[in-house]
C-alpha cells in the first residue's frame, strides 16, 4: 500500500464492520485504542480491504494510555498480514526509552514497520487551532521525513485556516512528499473533500454518521461522493 493515488479509509473500532465499507473505501482504519480486543480482531480479520492500524494516544484524541505499551502494540500490529500501515504520532519521536525497556518510541515503530513491509504514517493533531503556514509546513516536513506518509490534522475556526493548510499541503506535495491533511471542526469540514485536489493522500470517514472519531467528519458515503464529484 503506497498511498498513490489517494486512499479513502473507513474509520472503525470493529473490523466486523468492514463489509459495509467496501462500496466506498479503499482501506479501513482500525482504531485499536477504541476496540475491546484489538489483536483478536486482527488475527481473525478476513476482509477485502487493507488495514491501517491506529492506537491513538489520549493526548491526541484517542483512548489509549500514554505509555510504551501502546507503541509496542503498534509494533506487533505491523507484523500481522492484515495490516498494511500503522499510524504513530510525531510527538513520540525523540523520547526513546533505553534499549530493552519494552517501552519503544516512534522511531522504533517506524523501523519495525518497514522491516515487515508495512507503511508507517507519522501523524500530528492540533485540537486547539491552526498554526501559521510556516509551522504547518515544518510539521508536515518532519512527519514525512520520519515516516512514509506525514499526516497533519488541525482545527479550523475560519476559512483562512483551511487556505493555509491547503497551501502547506500543496507545497509539500510539490516537493514529492507524501502527506495527508485535514482541518477539523465545522469551518474546516470541506477540507476533507478538497484536500486530495492539493495533494493529500489519505482521507478518513466513519461508516455511520453518528460514529465520528474527529470533529467535522463526513460519513463515508458522503465523503466518497464528494471526492468523486470533485475529481
Does 88 fall in a domain? yes
Arithmetic mean of pLDDT over the chain: 93
Residue 74 lies in a domain: yes
- Write out the residue range of the structural domain in which residue 106 sits: 7-230
CB 162 within 8 A of CB 171: no
**Residue 134 within a domain:** yes
Q: Is the pLDDT of residue 99 over 80?
A: no
- The answer to the question of residue 112 being in a domain is yes
Residue 96, classed as helix, strand or coil, is coil
Q: Are 55 and 91 in contact (CB under 8 A)?
A: no
Residue 128 belongs to some domain of the structure: yes
- Residues 65 and 129: their CA atoms lie apart, in Å, by 24
Of the residues 112, 151, 170, 190, only one is catalytic, namely 151
What b/e readout covers 133-144, taking b as 16+ CB neighbours within 10 angstroms? beebbebbbbbb
Summarize the confidence of residues 32-44 as an average pLDDT: 96
Q: How many domains does the chain have?
A: 1
Please tell me the predicted confidence (pLDDT) of residue 22.
98
DSSP 58: G
Residue 55 domain-assigned (yes or no): yes
CATH number of the domain to which 163 belongs? 3.20.20.70
Per-residue pLDDT, 65: 85
Q: Could you say which of 24, 125, 170, 190 is catalytic?
A: 125
Q: Is the pTM of this model over 0.85?
A: yes
Residue 119 lies in a domain: yes
What is the rounded average pLDDT of the residues 110-128? 97
Asked, for residue 2, whether it belongs to a domain, the answer is no
**CA torsion sign, 98 to 102 to 107 to 113?**
positive
Our answer to whether residue 125 is catalytic in this structure is yes
Judged against a pLDDT cut of 80, whether residue 128 lies above it is answered with: yes
Mean pLDDT of 158-174: 98
Which pLDDT belongs to residue 218?
A: 93
Give tens-digit pLDDT for 183-198.
999 999 999 999 999 9
Amino acid at each position: 500500500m503506497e498511498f498513490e493515488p489517494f486512499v479513502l479509509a473507513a474509520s472503525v473500532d470493529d473490523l466486523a464492520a468492514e463489509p459495509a465499507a467496501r462500496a466506498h473505501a479503499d482501506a479501513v482504519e482500525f482504531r485499536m485504542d477504541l476496540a475491546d480486543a484489538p489483536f483478536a480482531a486482527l488475527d481473525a480479520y478476513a476482509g477485502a480491504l487493507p488495514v491501517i492500524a491506529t492506537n491513538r494516544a489520549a493526548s491526541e484524541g484517542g483512548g489509549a494510555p500514554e505509555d510504551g505499551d501502546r507503541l509496542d502494540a503498534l509494533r506487533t500490529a505491523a507484523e500481522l498480514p492484515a495490516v498494511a500501515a500503522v499510524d504513530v504520532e510525531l510527538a513520540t519521536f525523540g523520547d526513546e526509552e533505553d534499549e530493552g525497556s519494552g517501552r519503544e518510541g516512534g522511531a522504533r515503530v517506524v523501523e519495525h514497520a518497514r522491516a515487515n513491509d508495512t507503511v508507517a504514517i507519522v501523524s500530528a493533531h492540533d485540537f486547539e487551532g491552526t498554526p501559521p503556514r510556516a509551522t504547518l509546513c515544518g510539521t508536515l516536513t518532519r512527519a514525512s521525513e520520519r515516516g512514509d506518509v506525514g499526516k497533519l490534522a488541525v482545527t479550523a475556526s475560519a476559512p483562512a485556516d483551511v487556505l493555509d493548510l491547503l497551501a502547506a499541503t500543496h507545497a509539500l506535495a510539490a516537493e514529492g512528499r507524501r502527506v495527508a491533511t485535514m482541518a477539523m471542526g465545522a469551518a474546516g469540514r470541506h477540507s476533507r473533500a478538497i484536500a486530495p485536489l492539493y495533494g493529500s493522500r489519505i482521507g478518513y470517514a466513519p461508516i455511520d454518521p453518528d460514529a465520528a472519531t474527529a470533529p467535522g467528519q463526513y460519513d463515508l458515503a458522503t465523503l466518497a461522493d464528494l471526492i468523486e464529484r470533485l475529481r
